[in-house]
Amino acid sequence: LLVILREQNQHTRLSWIHPPTTTMTNAMTFRGAFVLALLSQLVTNAGAFYVPGVKPQEFKKGDSVPLKVNSLTSMKTQIPRGYYSLPFCEPSTGVKMASENLGEFLTGNKIQNSAFQILMLTQTTCTILCQKTLEKTDAMKLKLHIKYGYHNNWIIDNLPSASMGEAQGGKQMKHYAGGFPIGFIAVDTQEAYVYNHFVIRLDYHQVDPETEEYRVVGFAVEPMSINHRFIRSDFDWDGISSEGFQIGLSTCSTGSVMERDAITSNQPVREGEKIIYTYDVAWSASDVAWSSRWDVYLSEDNLVPAQVHWYSITNSILVVLFLSLLVVSILVRNLRRDIAGYNAIALL
């Protein structure tokens, strides 16, 4: 575009000296029309550009709200693991990559679809996801990952999942960084237990009361370990037949969200164990606007003081200044050496 404009200016200046011919006039007219068409196309396409995660997404009641899974991470090791490398439930349509932008790819994230079926404003309880029978290698691998403290990292509408749990005093705690663990090691027996029931709590915000459109402004998961049993004690499910999804479980209620006090026994990780994965979905109205939904992640729900962020900002500024001074000093030294060389040649 710049080359065409430069040539156009040159032809205009030359026309004052040599009058343009008919061929030159037609060429200049064609190039001018081409430039105008190109500029109009650029202006038209400027309004159609969209960065995923920047524009709010509205859902209507009953719309599907996709839950995506990211790589498993641990504070004890820097090696991430694929979510489906462990015996977890896979989607019936097959595992597919669900990365939304270039930043997710550059940071090494491996975001994929999941088997969870979540509908806007639809509460579900004790929904059976799948059943996994642990082979010897699966049990050893799952135990090892629990021992190393690997965490799940789930995403809904570009919001990472917060982790909900109970502290030692029985107080409900919520953390907004690092996801939630895949299991735990018993202190007394040192046996590994896997979290196979998930209470998914979602907050929604309705922008306009006159329209039935909602936005997701909060996402938290409360993992639990439950040794599920069917209501029919003689029923042995193969994990494939549809009958297993229809027969209820005696270890969780279909009328209310699961509570920790109702758990009678946890799900151990052993060879030959049949692990049934289940989940609940609970929706709650919120006054938090979509533009402010990330505030709790920055402050850990007011657990992290604002002074910590100022320390981080100051540290970043000092690092930038130090590197800038280093680059400037190198450039000045090279310039002085070059100038001294030029002066020595001039004296000769």
- Least confident interval from 6-10, 157-161, 235-239: 6-10
In the structure, what pLDDT confidence band is assigned to residue 342 with cuts at 50, 70 and 90? confident
- Least confident interval from 59-73, 139-153, 154-168: 154-168
Which residues are CB-neighbours of 142 under 8 A, at least 6 positions away? 86, 87, 134, 182, 183, 192, 194, 269
State the pLDDT at residue 46.
42
DSSP secondary structure string, 232-292? STT----SSSTHHHHSPBSSS-SSS---GGG--S--B--TT-EEEEEEEEEEEE----GGG
Q: pLDDT for 69-86, tens place per residue?
A: 999 999 898 888 999 999
Report pTM. Answer: 0.73
Q: Output 22 or 211, whichever has higher pLDDT.
A: 211
Q: Output 212 or 41, whichever has higher pLDDT.
A: 212
- What is the mean pLDDT of the segment spanning 135-140? 95
- What is the mean pLDDT of the segment spanning 33-54? 48
State the pLDDT at residue 9.
44
State the pLDDT at residue 173.
82
- Is the pLDDT at 121 greater than 50? The verdict is yes
- How much of the chain, in percent, has pLDDT values that exceed 90? 53
Chain centroid to Cα 266, Å, comes to 29
State the pLDDT at residue 6.
43
Q: pLDDT for 293-314, tens place per residue?
A: 998 887 776 655 556 567 778 8
- What is the mean pLDDT of the segment spanning 263-272? 94
